[in-house]
Copies of this chain bind each other. A is one copy, B any other.
Amino acid sequence: MGLVVQKYGGSSVADAEGIKRVAKRIVDAKKNGHQVVVVVSAMGDTTDELIDLAGQVSPIPAGREFDMLLTAGERISMALLAMAIKNLGHEAQSFTGSQAGVITDSVHNKARIIDVTPGRIRTALDEGNIAIVAGFQGVSQDKKDITTLGRGGSDTTAVALAAALDAEVCEIYTDVDGVFTADPRVVKKARKIDWISFGDMLELASSGSKVLLHRCVEYARRYNIPIHVRSSFSGLQGTWVSNEPQGDRKVEQAIISGVAHDTSEAKITVVGVPDKPGEAAAIFRAVADAQINLDMIVQNVSAAATGLTDISFTLPKAEGRKAIDALEKTKAGVGFDSLRYDDQIAKISLVGAGMKTNPGVTATFFEALTDAGVNIELISTSEIRISVVTRAEDVNEAVRAVHTAFGLDSDSDEAVVYGGTGR
């Protein structure tokens, strides 16, 4: 039996009972002969409470001190978890991100991991301990300051440690049973996915699926660390994310992994852009200089009569104001007509390998939306994904229609498979 990294989110360790339940699960893994490294988030709402406190003493809390503050949350949960494990008769030691060797750059509040040197973790394991590591935090390489990794940081900590320690698997424990073919709150008949490839999971994550964040999946793919997303409450098998199916598990053959949706974005359309070299570049440079990440970008062919085209893109609603400001400044230089801003949109994405080589997929997708009376405003595709932008009010209807059309509903006999055996 090899080394296992387990990660528990804040909802799994929200109170003393939760911590004791998690401790028991960890000890079970140890009893099964594994070396166990545990990455833990702050308890329940601790981080939000700390952010609230910070807001009370300073209107713009950020940077170095904000990281120092937030990392207190994981310090509490990891120490309590280690105590709970000791109370079950097993040895455990907790480690801060710094002690665990999580080395980052110096970008406070959203640092990136640049090295992992888990010497103390290895020693603790060799001495028979269960190692508990604070998620979400590290130490900067140059200044030795405490940093936090930003959103999804604890999952990334877990995968990074799994990679550095050559773990068999990185288990991400959460409050749902795994990754589903659609959001179960929208689609009652959504099914749990038993296995999904890194590639499909990446597309789902960047299309609105909240269970795993893009960043953590990307890290896992780069180092080929299988992720097992599962419930800390039920103990059932969850969803495996990997390059290859694990051992003798049954693998779904359907090429369609699932339907994701996202209502957190807004759409900006730059109207009447002269269709000549450099215009689009000037627009995107302006947005990039404002540090805004765009998602879908669509440009239609220009109308021959005017020589003008429209460029549309989607971006997080929170960045909308900043993007408009940046674009207004380029108006004279670029010479476009006007800007349109729309935050009442939704993005619906279908993800699955091989769809590009199976024209039926695209056809079925649009037919389903048409039958549901959903109007499509933008379309964007990749090798393994089709995304459309619709009115926000149509999103649930659209997701359900697509989910049913591809045979993903839990009472379907079998998922629809295009192109034979899938892979």
A40 contacts B by Cβ under 8 Å: no
What are the residues of chain B within 8 A of A75 when measuring CB–CB?
Answer: 68-69, 71-72, 75
Q: Would A53 and B76 count as touching, CB distance under 8 A?
A: yes
Report if A323 contacts B (CB, 8 A). no
Chain B contacts for A54, CB-based, 8 A:
79-80, 83
**Contact flags (1/0) for A45-78 with B, using CB distance below 8 Å?**
0000010011011111100111011011101101
Q: Complex Cα distance A86/B68, Å?
A: 14
How far does the Cβ of A148 sit from chain B's closest Cβ, in whole Å?
12
Interface residue? A216 (CB, 8 A): no
Query: Contact partner of A53 among B16, B23, B61, CB < 8 A?
Result: B16
A188 interface contact, C-beta 8 A: no
Shortest distance from the beta carbon of A395 to any chain B beta carbon, whole Å = 39
Contact B83 A57 (CB under 8 A): yes
Name the contact of A57 in the complex, choosing from B19, B69, B99, B144 (C-beta under 8 A). Answer: B19
Residue from A20, A71, A79, A144 with most neighbouring chain B CB atoms (10 Å): A79
A84 shortest CB reach to chain B, Å:
4
Instruction: Please give, as numbers and ranges, the residues of chain B lying within 8 Å of A72 by CB-CB distance.
Output: 72-73, 75-76, 79
Cβ of A299 within 8 Å of any chain B Cβ, yes or no, is no
Q: List 10 A-B contacts (CB under 8 A).
A: A50-B76, A53-B76, A57-B84, A59-B87, A60-B87, A65-B79, A68-B79, A69-B79, A72-B73, A75-B75
- A93 within 8 A of partner (CB): yes
> A115-150 vs B: 1/0 string, CB under 8 Å?
000001000000000000000000000001010000
Complex partner residue of A94 from B61, B65, B87, CB under 8 angstroms: B65
**Chain A: interface size category:** 35 or more
CA distance A32 to B343 in the complex (A): 51
Chain B CB within 8 A of A204 CB = no
Q: A16-B53, A16-B56 are in contact. Are A69 and B65 (CB under 8 A)?
A: no
- Assess whether A361 is interfacial by the CB under 8 Å rule: no
**A72-B76, A75-B75 are known contacts; what are 8 more A-B pairs with Cβ within 8 Å?**
A20-B57, A57-B80, A57-B87, A58-B83, A61-B83, A68-B75, A68-B78, A69-B79
Complex Cα distance, B65 from A92, in Å, reads: 9
| Given contact pairs A53-B16, A99-B144, A79 touches B66 in the complex (Cβ within 8 A) | yes
Q: A86 touching B65 by the CB < 8 A rule?
A: yes
Give chain B residues whose Cβ lies under 8 Å from the Cβ of A23: 57
**What chain B residues lie within 8 Å of A146 (beta carbons)?**
96
Q: Tell yes or no: A211 within 8 A of B by CB.
A: no
Q: Which residues of B sit under 8 angstroms from A83, Cβ to Cβ?
A: 54, 57-58, 61, 65-66, 69
A280 to chain B, nearest CB (A): 40
Q: List residues 254-286 of chain A with CB under 8 A from any CB of chain B.
A: none
Residues of B within 8 A of A68 (CB): 75, 78-79, 82, 94
Inside 8 A of A92's CB, which chain B residues have their CB? 65
Residues of B within 8 Å of A144, CB to CB, are: 99, 120
Q: Is the CB of A87 within 8 A of B58?
A: yes
Cα A72 to Cα B76 in complex, Å, equals: 6
Query: A127 to chain B: closest CB distance in Å?
Result: 12
A15 → chain B closest CB, angstroms: 8
Min CB distance A219 to B, Å, is 26
Contacts of A56 in B (CB 8 A): 16
A58 and B79 contacting across the interface, CB-CB below 8 Å: no
- A16 contacts B79, C-beta separation under 8 Å: no
Residue in chain B with minimal CB distance to A68:
B79
Task: Tell me, in angstroms, the Cα distance from A72 to B68 when the chains sit together.
Answer: 10
Q: Which of B58, B65, B78, B86 contacts A58 (CB 8 A)?
A: B86
User: Which A-B residue pairs are the 6 nearest by beta carbons?
Assistant: A69-B79, A16-B56, A58-B87, A68-B79, A58-B83, A57-B84
Find out whether the CB atom of B82 lies under 8 angstroms from the CB atom of A16.
no
